[in-house]
Chains A and B, each alone.
Chain A
Amino acid sequence: MRRPSLVLSLVLVATVPAPTALARPVTARSGVVERVVAVVDRDIILLSELERRAEPFRLRIEATIPESDGAKRVAAEQQMHVELLDRMIDERLEAAAAKRQSVTVSEAEIDAALKTIADGQKLSVPDLLEVARRNAGLGDKEYREEIGRQLLEGKLLQRIVHDRPEGFSSLTERERNERLEKERQTWIGELRRDAFVEKRL
């Protein structure tokens, strides 16, 4: 099945208690506050970017693993960081591929996608953004960025399927999703093979 959107599921399945505040600025603490956590060709991913993206998942871990089970929490957070960094690397590779192919996502397309999601949940767009903020700790900008990333990936995948259309139109929705995920994996593998990627977690 196609990779589900963790962020959307966090937003829409309101199982996480409301955080008291958004992520604490990295500059509010001492010790290492910023560093390079991955190199993707000539691009870098910073610790602050990873932590910002990790915030909704960290809240979920905190909500599901009790504080008394500290070791389990730490292990879950470490695993989450590893997986999230991999995803962010994939996104950088996808964004670079999109740039090469002149594929873009406009603000209007993001607005339309937000409206569709909100309609599906019988919410207004401002209410959806409020739910995203309350349940996932995502600001409007971060939520729009996430939607933009998903739209961009969708557009790129459509191109790939368009280039390799054998039998696609005759598939059921489930089979299409499986095929899309398979194509995505193949494509990401190709992008990774051609790129210089170094993880420094």
Chain B
Amino acid sequence: MKRALVSLLSALGASALLACASTPAVSRSAEPARARATTGLGAKAGAEPATSHCSTLAQKGAGDLVGAVDLRGQSRLAASDLCPLLATRAGGSLDDETLASDVRTLYGTGQLDDIVVSTDELATGRRVLFTVRERPLVRKLVVLGVKAIDDDDARAMLVPERAPFDGVALREGIRKLRDEYLSSGYRSADVQFRVDAAPEHEVDVTVDVREGAQARIDAIHLDGASKASEKDLLALVDTDEGHYNRVGAPYRPETFERALLYMSAYYWDRGRVQAKVSPAEIVPSKDGSTLAITVRIEEGPVFRLGKIRCKGDFGGTPKECLDLVGLKTGDVFSRAEMVKAIDRIRAFQIEKGRGTTITPGTELDPKKRVLNLDLQIER
């Protein structure tokens, strides 16, 4: 059953934000004298909001200039750390783009959850007030239900304690944890999280895991493989010393998918340049405890080399090109051999002071089962 999650929005006090955002800026004259005199650190959470002065004009300058830039709402963070980040300064002009950039800069520190900018009139010009809300600190990270994965490893994927809470990082961590379970064969693992508000502008994060059963592979079918042996193809699958991706072991998708690329390369190195290895089809048993894996393969015919040409900025003769390639017309095409040939030609070109960007072009003649190879060389 899907468990209820506490809304991140309410956990982070979004209602307070909305109230803040819709409240008209407090005029300077209405502020308590104590708040006006405050510099450096602002008030602690729950206390009367204090304002820090980032920059102030002593007397009105010419034109419509900024008279003062103030900061309010920070408690853990020092105004002396945040104020220098602001491009809006007393004595400068008030500019939309600069203000937007200031908000992005402050948000980009990763320490603040919200920033509201308001302005009002002072005798010395416009006052710009940045009201910030710090991200809450993570007081406690509780991880429940983790057995198959090392507890410290699981915690390392999530959000650290005593650091500003990062909702995006938590979601990414939850995704990583799910992927970790998936790659360990726990295909039905369910990972949920909850964020609860705590006193002193802190939050408790609870991650609840229901691992479910570990599914094991009961069969791997390579449909359509007749020219290559099943043993040779399966040898390309990384089993992590027999722990995964073999019959009787859990399925690890990322390494199995990589093996499908190796299988394609296996065929291309044996002239079967039209070979197609389809993505694995995974069929779980009814109770989810076992998996059958099917890979469909179209091997295609063997292609032999036809014409071999070095084109463009090649620094030698056609014979030298063929010698460097080391293959001749009639040989079975091999992608790996072609790559080696390109490396040899590049070394030759470097020696000759010629172009080293080499792009292979292949032209297939399906009727004759011939592949013409052009090595285009650019300076």
- A residues touching B (Cβ–Cβ < 8 Å)? 25-27, 29-36, 41-42, 44, 46, 48-49, 194, 196, 198, 200
Contacts and interface: CB of A to CB of B under 8 A. Distances in A.
Contacts of A34: 96, 99-100, 103, 115-117
Contacts, number: 74
A196 B100 CA distance: 22
B285 interface: no
Of A26, A36, A46, A49, most B-chain CB atoms within 10 Å? A36
A36 B118 contact: no
Interface of B: 8-9, 14, 17-18, 21-22, 24-25, 94-96, 99-100, 103-104, 107, 114-121, 126, 167-168, 171, 175
B171 A33 contact: no
Nearest to B18: A200
A194 B175 CA distance: 9
Contact of B118 (A25, A33, A41, A44): A33
B119 A27 contact: yes
A35 B100 contact: no
A50 to B, nearest CB: 11
A27 to B, nearest CB: 4
Nearest to B7: A198
A41 B171 CA distance: 10
A20 B121 CA distance: 27
B371 to A, nearest CB: 27
Contacts of B14: 198, 200
Contacts of A196: 167-168, 171
Nearest to B17: A200
24 contacts: A26-B96, A26-B99, A27-B95, A30-B118, A30-B120, A31-B24, A31-B25, A31-B119, A31-B120, A32-B22, A33-B99, A33-B117, A33-B118, A34-B103, A35-B21, A35-B116, A36-B114, A36-B115, A46-B100, A48-B96, A48-B99, A196-B167, A196-B171, A198-B167
Contacts of A31: 24-25, 118-120
B96 A27 contact: yes
Given A198-B8, A200-B14, A32 B116 contact: yes
A32 B168 contact: no
A42 B168 contact: yes
Given A31-B25, A196-B167, 5 more contacts: A30-B25, A30-B121, A33-B117, A34-B117, A196-B168
B318 to A, nearest CB: 38
B14 to A, nearest CB: 7
A25 B119 CA distance: 13
A201 to B, nearest CB: 9
A30 B27 CA distance: 10
B349 to A, nearest CB: 29
Contacts of A33: 99, 117-119
Contacts of A200: 14, 17-18, 21, 114
Contacts of B96: 25-27, 34, 48
B168 A27 contact: no
A41 B168 contact: yes
Contacts of B118: 30-33
B119 A198 contact: no
Contacts of A48: 96, 99-100
User: Which 8 A-B residue pairs are closest in the complex by CB-CB distance?
Assistant: A34-B117, A35-B116, A27-B94, A196-B168, A32-B118, A25-B96, A34-B99, A31-B24
Contacts of A44: 103-104, 107
A196 B172 CA distance: 10
Contacts of A36: 103, 107, 114-116
Contact of B21 (A25, A27, A29, A32): A32
Of A34, A41, A49, A200, most B-chain CB atoms within 10 Å? A34
B168 A35 contact: no
Nearest to A40: B168
Contacts of B95: 27
A44 B168 CA distance: 12
